[in-house]
Amino acid sequence: MTTARFRPRRSCLAVPGSNPRFLEKAQGLPVDQVFLDLEDACAPLAKESARQAVVEALNEGDWGGKTRVVRVNDWTTHWTYRDVITVVEGAGAGLDCLMLPKVQDAQQVLALDMLLTQIEKTMGFEVGRIGIEAQIEDARGLVNVDAIAAASPRLETIVFGPADFMASIAMKTLVVGQQPPGYPADAYHYVLMRILMAARAHGLQAVDGPYLQIRDTDGFREVAGRSAALGFDGKWVLHPGQIEAANDIYSPGQEDYDRAELILDAYAHVTSRAGGARGAAMLGDEMIDEASRKMALVIAGKGRAAGM
Ligand code: GLV
Ligand code: MG
Q: What is the pLDDT of residues 196-242, one digit of tens each?
A: 999 999 999 999 999 999 999 999 999 999 999 999 999 999 999 99
Residue 200 CA to ligand 2 centre (angstroms): 22
Which residues, listed in sequence order, are joined to residue 160 by a DSSP beta bridge?
Answer: 136
pLDDT at 263: 93
**Is the CB–ligand 1 distance for residue 133 below 6 Å?**
no
Query: Under a CB-based contact definition with an 8 Å cutoff, are residues 83 and 73 in contact?
Result: yes
Q: Please name the residue ranges forming H helices in the chain.
A: 20-25, 47-60, 80-91, 106-123, 139-143, 145-149, 162-168, 189-201, 217-230, 243-249, 254-273, 290-305
Residue 269 CA to ligand 2 centre (angstroms): 48
Average pLDDT over the chain reads: 94
Q: How far is CA 39 from CA 22, 140, 199, 281, 286, in A?
A: 15, 20, 23, 53, 50
pLDDT band at residue 2, thresholds of 50, 70 and 90? Answer: very low
**Is the CB–ligand 1 distance for residue 32 below 6 Å?**
no
**Is the CB–ligand 1 distance for residue 209 below 6 Å?**
yes
Q: Has residue 107 got a pLDDT over 60?
A: yes
- Taking the C-alpha atoms of residue 263 and residue 269, their distance in angstroms, rounded to an integer, is 10
pTM of the entire predicted model:
0.93
Which residues, listed in sequence order, are joined to residue 24 by a DSSP beta bridge?
Answer: none
**Is the CB–ligand 1 distance for residue 161 below 6 Å?**
yes
Residue 282 backbone zone (phi > 0: left; psi -120 to 50: alpha; other: beta): beta
For ligand 1, atom 1, which residue shows the shortest CA distance? 161
- Taking the C-alpha atoms of residue 167 and residue 85, their distance in angstroms, rounded to an integer, is 30
How far does CA 86 lie from the centroid of its chain?
23
Q: Has residue 177 got a pLDDT over 90?
A: no
Least confident of 84-98, 114-128, 267-281: 267-281
Query: Under a CB-based contact definition with an 8 Å cutoff, are residues 108 and 114 in contact?
Result: no
Which residues, listed in sequence order, are joined to residue 235 by a DSSP beta bridge?
Answer: 11, 208
Q: What is the ipTM of this complex?
A: 0.99
Residue 100 CA to ligand 1 centre (angstroms): 11
**Is the CB–ligand 1 distance for residue 208 below 6 Å?**
no
Mutation to probe ligand 1, out of 36, 165, 168 (largest number of atoms < 8 A from CB): 165
Angle, alpha carbons 133-136-141 (nearest 5°): 120
Least confident of 65-79, 134-148, 279-293: 279-293
For ligand 1, atom 3, which residue shows the shortest CA distance? 161
Nearest atom within ligand 1 for CA of residue 162:
5
Residue 59 CA to ligand 2 centre (angstroms): 26
- Taking the C-alpha atoms of residue 291 and residue 294, their distance in angstroms, rounded to an integer, is 5
Q: Which ligand is nearest to the CA of 102?
A: 2
Closest CA to 231 of 211, 201, 261: 201
Q: Has residue 191 got a pLDDT over 50?
A: yes
Q: How many CB atoms lie within 10 A of CB 204?
A: 27
Q: Which residues surround ligand 2, an ion (CB under 5 A)?
A: 137, 161, 164
Q: Has residue 38 got a pLDDT over 50?
A: yes
Strand bridging mode 281-283 / 286-288: antiparallel
Mutation to probe ligand 1, out of 12, 69, 104, 135 (largest number of atoms < 8 A from CB): 135
pLDDT at 132: 98
DSSP category for residue 32? S
pLDDT at 274: 67
Residue 260 CA to ligand 1 centre (angstroms): 34
pLDDT at 3: 42
